[in-house]
Amino acid sequence: MVRMESNMTNIQIRKTILINYFSAMVISLAGATAFAQDLEWRTDYAQARQESLQKNLPILIDFYTDNCFWCKQMDQRTFRDPALNQALAENWIPLRVNGKKESTLADVLKIRSYPTLVFASPDGKILGFTEGFIEAPALTALLEQHRDDSTTPNWMNIEYKEATNAIASSDYPRAVSILKKITEDGKQRPIQKKALVLLQDFEKQATERITRAKKNLEQGHTTESIQIFREVSRQFEGTNGARESNQILASLANRKPNSEPIITSNNLAKDVLALIKQDYKSANYLSCLDRYDYMTATFADAMETQEAGIIISEIKENPEWMKIACEQMSERLATLYLSLADSWTKKGQPQQAIYYLEKTIQTFPTTKYAESAQVRLAHLLGPSIKSVELKNNR
């Protein structure tokens, strides 16, 4: 009798264990299903595009078909991953499209196999394709990579606002410097396109004034022309027009005197000294050093040069400031390498361009210049990712 009761107790214990095990499994599966269902898949392409623009979030398009085995595996395995679903819910607009039913959109994007994932920026630019099944960790990494390419970094928004404030206060040199920084990585984000338009407008204004000054110079109105060149040099510093104006002013300063006074070294020295003081105030120490070299080579005995020398001594005696100057030199060199690569590309010599792009990546790793060089390099080497525009073909 005792033995029978013992057997009954063991059976009850086993039943309790099994019941608890299956209950836990049911709860676990229910939780996973609930999480997968929590991911709000959009199904209307036009509405998803509009939402993407409004929220400034990229789109992930999951092209599938009803009878696709690996599409079902994506649903049952990949899209049940909590970390992946959180990344999608917070940073993407997930859109699910049946490739057979939405054949027009599938044809436009050249979808040939299923499943295919399409990564697109808010403005509709395709960032990449992934064909076939992909595990959740790999997809999470791709989402992070493509999101960085598609969305506008917060610092760009802040800098762009600073640039517009500088324009409003007529501080054009600062605006030009900030706008160039925004456009340097070679990408085509909407805010970068806006920054480029503003830069082109500055160049246009500077060019128009230089053209007028040159005509005045040809007509013998030298003093008036010099005044215009000086204004362009000061107001549009950092533009090609400002550089051209400085070259013309230097040329005029070295002319032999004639019947009409052209320019005196003292006047030009004052202008350069004023620019050095302005650069010093804005912590553009490399520019201070460059301008001082020009002053010592052009009018070494001028009092303005001696005054500038005091500023330069302060910079050279301050290790932190000299470090900033070196960093500014590095930025300039990186920019020159990228420009040189672009020049070789336009000349039809991609191998030369590739050399300088690789040199940029090796010399300035983990910088925005290296990132920009990688983008250019991928383009020259023929990236597999196609850049096409998503179109509303509903």
Examine residue 115 and say whether the peptide bond preceding it is cis (omega within 30 degrees of 0). yes
- Range 133-156 average pLDDT: 82
Return the pLDDT at 255.
Answer: 55
60 pLDDT more than 80: yes
Average pLDDT of the chain, as a whole number? 80
Return the pLDDT at 65.
Answer: 94
| Residues 6 or more apart whose Cβ sits within 8 Å of residue 155 | none
Query: How far is the CA of 307 from the CAs of 268, 315, 330, in angstroms?
Result: 14, 13, 27
144 pLDDT more than 70: yes
What tokens appear for 353 in the block?
Answer: 């361009």
Integer Cα distance of 206 and 203 in angstroms = 5
37 pLDDT more than 50: no
Residues facing residue 118 across a β-bridge: 61, 129
For the question of whether the overall pTM of this predicted structure is more than 0.75, the answer is no
User: Each residue of 338-361: pLDDT tens digit?
Assistant: 888 888 888 888 888 888 888 889
H runs (alpha helix) in 77-171: 82-91, 103-108, 136-150, 154-168
The percentage of residues in the chain with a pLDDT greater than 90, rounded to a whole number, is 26
Return the pLDDT at 9.
Answer: 55
**Residue 252 — pLDDT band, cuts 50, 70, 90?**
confident
User: Each residue of 301-330: pLDDT tens digit?
Assistant: 778 888 888 899 999 999 999 999 998 888
Return the pLDDT at 266.
Answer: 56
Residue (of 26, 58, 13, 250) closest to 152 by Cα position:
58
Please, are residues 216 and 228 in contact by the beta-carbon 8 Å criterion? yes
Return the pLDDT at 250.
Answer: 78
DSSP string, 324-375: HHHHHHHHHHHHHHHHHHHHHHHTT-HHHHHHHHHHHHHHSTTSHHHHHHHH
Return the pLDDT at 133.
Answer: 95
Q: Is 394 exposed, middle or buried (0-12, 13-18, 19+ CB in 10 A)?
A: exposed
